[in-house]
A and B are shown apart, each in its own frame.
Chain A
Amino acid sequence: DQQVKQNSPSLSVQEGRISILNCDYTNSMFDYFLWYKKYPAEGPTFLISISSIKDKNEDGRFTVFLNKSAKHLSLHIVPSQPGDSAVYFCAAKGSYIPTFGRGTSLIVHP
């Protein structure tokens, strides 16, 4: 059973608009959350993270929001750019090893 769920396999957004990628988790022991970005033919690269003691973390155009009561986090990209087109993986840690979701493919149209 998937403990980290990314229920939208794909998302299409127009350049300049906001992209919102969602992630749900089931394990209440998770206390640290990460987003990785993956381009075709490359490995995932770390993008942004958030600890469970926070509800928001911002890094430039990327912001991650955490709602612990709902066991939900989201990644906001504002404004979206064509270069943001990639697969985004949500991951959660409770012990030391992250559990990854299946990924969401984001396409940003010019």
Chain B
Amino acid sequence: DAGVIQSPRHEVTEMGQEVTLRCKPISGHDYLFWYRQTMMRGLELLIYFNNNVPIDDSGMPEDRFSAKMPNASFSTLKIQPSEPRDSAVYFCASSLALAGVGTDTQYFGPGTRLTVL
């Protein structure tokens, strides 16, 4: 398996523009997570899905952020409108389960580095 795939790897945009980040989880994984990494807050969970259904979006910072998972192999994180404080690295991760020895291990994608000017 190619692992978790994210695109684009880098995104530079101007304030006010819409940004869409994409993720393809590992095949067969039932859970998908979106994280944001910043120097100040480290790795923060934004939202996670189980079998394509959003379970907990309490980490989504504002209504400007939205995430979808239309099928088991694709998810998007959208920011509209984007702001400079959204600049961060956004990671997608997937896992087989939430609990269980070995099965709850999260596998991360390489991340998307977002810069909002």
Name A residues whose Cβ lies closer than 8 Å to a Cβ of B: 2, 6, 36, 41-46, 89, 91, 96-103
Contact = CB atoms under 8 A, between A and B. Distances in A.
Interface in B14-72: 33, 35, 39-45, 48, 56
B73 interface: no
B4 interface: yes
A43 B42 contact: no
Main SS class of interface, A: loop
B45 A96 contact: no
Interface residues of B, number: 25
Nearest to B108: A43
Nearest to B91: A43
A42 B91 CA distance: 10
Nearest to A41: B110
B98 interface: yes
Contacts of B39: 102
Contact of A89 (B33, B42, B93, B109): B42
Given A100-B35, A103-B43, 17 more contacts: A41-B111, A42-B111, A43-B108, A43-B111, A44-B91, A44-B108, A89-B42, A91-B43, A96-B98, A96-B104, A97-B56, A98-B106, A100-B43, A102-B39, A102-B40, A102-B41, A102-B42
18 contacts: A41-B9, A41-B111, A43-B93, A43-B108, A43-B110, A44-B43, A46-B106, A89-B43, A96-B98, A96-B99, A96-B104, A97-B33, A97-B48, A100-B42, A100-B43, A100-B44, A101-B43, A103-B43
A8 B39 CA distance: 13
Contact of A43 (B4, B44, B98, B99): B4
